[in-house]
Amino acid sequence: MNRLRVVLIMILPVLLGVGPCTGGPRMIAAVPGGVLTGQVATRPVTDFSFVADAGLCALETRPDFPHSVTVNCFNDGPDLYVGCMGCEDKVWSTYVANDSSARIRIADTVYAVTMNRITDPEEMAGPWLSRWQKARGNTDAPRIPEGYWLYRLTSR
């Protein structure tokens, strides 16, 4: 009977669609979802500065069989970024490496984007500082940690 409970607890959120696709309970946000729901933007976006007040975003990768997760998204001026600690071991980053096409839900709107990983530390420095200042309100940002990956998202 206990095994049945465990299985139900693990499967029930997926069956009910709770996770990043629905904005369900935050404790279940780690459960990957499928296709993102929300109003779909019909035009490319050139200025993502409105993201400053969005908080968490939902990222959908692997277009042929969508896989969505909750991520921290942020802007640096008009540019949109997603940062990731320990990204080497995350499933979604593998999907992005194979196909950079993705969709991101910011507030209630879903945007088609292309994800480009930034590996140059000098190019990462500006967005890292911007993110740190927005999150901490402090101008003195620590060094970019080992294992931190940064993606610039461009609208398509």
Query: What's the pLDDT at 149?
Result: 96
Q: Is residue 1 part of a domain?
A: no
Tell me the backbone φ, ψ of residue 50, rounded to 5 degrees.
-70, -10
Q: Is residue 27 part of a domain?
A: no
Q: In total, how many domains does the chain have?
A: 1
pTM of this prediction? 0.78
CATH number of the domain bearing residue 68 = 2.30.110.10
Q: Is residue 65 part of a domain?
A: yes
Q: Is the pLDDT of residue 78 over 90?
A: yes
Q: Is residue 116 part of a domain?
A: yes
Between residues 128 and 21, which one has the greater pLDDT? Answer: 128
- The angle at the Cα of 4, spanning 22 to 9, to the nearest 5 degrees, equals 20
Q: Is residue 98 part of a domain?
A: yes
Query: What's the pLDDT at 107?
Result: 92
Mean pLDDT, rounded, for 20-38: 65
Query: What's the pLDDT at 52?
Result: 81
